[in-house]
């Protein structure tokens, strides 16, 4: 379950266009300090949607794993990844590999899965020279800011994610499903409301329909919760999109999104979603040793272009099933 609302004694800085920030004098034992202040930290995330903790001095992978465990308990094993991640232990991963000079636009982690992390944990042992912030945006505010006609359609119909798995781009079958065995992959797809078809060349195509708007499991408030823009072809740079369409065809892209009725999503819609996110983005540059906690239902996150070495480790905790209140999914199963 994501964070519950509790009173907190922590002295948090609130600044325009930036995430809530907690500055600390470096503790002698970061995991112990985290355990002692766990409920207060959770309360701050419940109140603000995200919290950046500066001063923990998180540089060591073992230390980071211990801090994550104190905050979230058991970490989730990622399934349905769209890009391979380097694992540093159970549930502890390097951030998604992505070209340094390309932004990774706003999204909610694994919002196309039936079970999603309620909590995202980020630690930055090495900050980049410039850029590279993990920015955040409030999903309630974004939902209110988007045109009503657009959100009502997506709320009514949901959205569709299509994927084509190949050995060249994105996560392989084994990396995404945790196995390369066809029988096990098919079993996973059936259990998770994913339509699938094996292609003559042995590749797999999948299609899943999900809600675009969900209610937060604690507050009950409606949130714009999806990856409609992030995984759409129009978010790709023009040269990358042209290459992929030329090589794989318009229906064979590694990933793409559609309206819930199956019709294409126009470039204008994708640009509108991304510009609305940008208008509500809060960003703070990473400092080496920082910790960022994000309520994954209420708050979207992104990764901005950067120069220099950038190391960020992530964990996913407190799994929830927003599809349990998912009229678009229910309609697709009838």
- Tell me the pLDDT tens digit for each residue of 29-39: 999 999 999 99
The residue written with tokens 């994954």 in the block is: 296
With respect to residue 296, please indicate whether it lies within any of the assigned structural domains. yes
Q: The pTM is what?
A: 0.93
Task: Tell me the residue length of the chain.
Answer: 334
Residue 10 confidence (pLDDT): 87
Contact between 94 and 86 under an 8 Å Cβ cutoff? The reply is yes
The residue written with tokens 């058991």 in the block is: 74
With respect to residue 6, please indicate whether it lies within any of the assigned structural domains. no
Residues 6+ away with beta carbon under 8 Å from 249: none
Distance CA 191, CA 209 (A): 14
Sheet containing 136-138: order of strands: 104-107, 299-303, 136-138, 281-282
Contact between 56 and 24 under an 8 Å Cβ cutoff? The reply is yes
End-to-end C-alpha distance for the chain, whole angstroms: 29
Q: Which tops the pLDDT comparison, 84 or 131? A: 131
Using one digit for the tens of pLDDT, what is the confidence trace for 256-294?
A: 999 999 999 999 999 999 999 999 999 999 999 999 999
**H-helix or E-strand spanning residue 274:** helix 267-279
Residue 329 confidence (pLDDT): 53
Residue 52 confidence (pLDDT): 98
Using one digit for the tens of pLDDT, what is the confidence trace for 83-98?
A: 888 999 999 999 988 8
Distance CA 22, CA 8 (A): 12
Give the chain's domain count: 2
Contact between 286 and 133 under an 8 Å Cβ cutoff? The reply is yes
Residues 6+ away with beta carbon under 8 Å from 295: 2, 3, 45, 46, 49, 50, 118, 119
**Is 126 in the same domain as 210?**
no
Cβ count within 10 A of residue 163: 22
**Is 259 in the same domain as 293?**
no
Residue 5 confidence (pLDDT): 38
With respect to residue 263, please indicate whether it lies within any of the assigned structural domains. yes
Average the pLDDT over 199-220 and give the result.
95
With respect to residue 224, please indicate whether it lies within any of the assigned structural domains. yes
> By residue range, what is the domain housing residue 131?
20-97+114-137+284-320
- Find the DSSP H helices in 83-147: 139-145
Residue 63 confidence (pLDDT): 97
């Amino acid at each position: 379950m994501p964070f519950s609302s509790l009173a907190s004694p922590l002295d948090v800085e609130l600044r325009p266009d930036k995430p809530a920030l907690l500055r600390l004098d470096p503790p002698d034992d970061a995991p112990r300090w985290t355990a002692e202040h766990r409920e207060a930290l959770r309360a701050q995330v419940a109140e603000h949607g995200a919290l950046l903790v500066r001063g923990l001095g998180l540089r060591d992978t073992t230390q980071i794993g211990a801090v994550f465990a104190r905050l979230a308990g058991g970490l989730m094993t990622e399934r349905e990844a769209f890009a391979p991640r380097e694992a540093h232990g159970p549930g502890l991963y390097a951030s998604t590999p992505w070209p340094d000079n390309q932004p990774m636009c706003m999204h909610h982690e694994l919002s196309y899965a039936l079970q999603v992390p309620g909590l995202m944990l980020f630690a930055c042992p090495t900050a980049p020279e410039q850029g590279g912030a993990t920015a955040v945006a409030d999903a309630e505010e974004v939902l209110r800011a988007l045109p009503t006609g657009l959100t009502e359609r997506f709320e009514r119909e949901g959205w569709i994610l299509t994927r084509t798995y190949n050995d060249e781009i994105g996560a392989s079958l084994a990396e995404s499903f945790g196995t390369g065995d066809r029988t096990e992959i098919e079993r996973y797809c059936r259990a998770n409301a994913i339509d699938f078809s094996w292609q003559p060349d042995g590749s797999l195509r999948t299609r899943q329909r999900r809600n675009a708007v969900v209610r937060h499991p604690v507050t009950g408030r409606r949130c714009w919760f999806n990856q409609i823009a992030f995984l759409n072809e129009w978010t790709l740079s023009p040269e990358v999109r042209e290459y992929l369409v030329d090589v794989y065809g318009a229906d064979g892209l590694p990933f793409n999104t559609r309206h819930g009725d199956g019709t294409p999503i126009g470039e204008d819609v994708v640009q509108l979603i991304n510009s609305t996110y940008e208008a509500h983005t809060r960003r703070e540059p990473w400092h080496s040793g920082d910790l960022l906690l994000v309520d994954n239902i209420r708050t979207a996150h992104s990764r901005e272009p950067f120069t220099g070495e950038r190391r960020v480790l992530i964990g996913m905790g407190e799994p929830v099933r927003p599809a349990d209140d998912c009229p678009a999914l229910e309609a697709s199963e009838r």
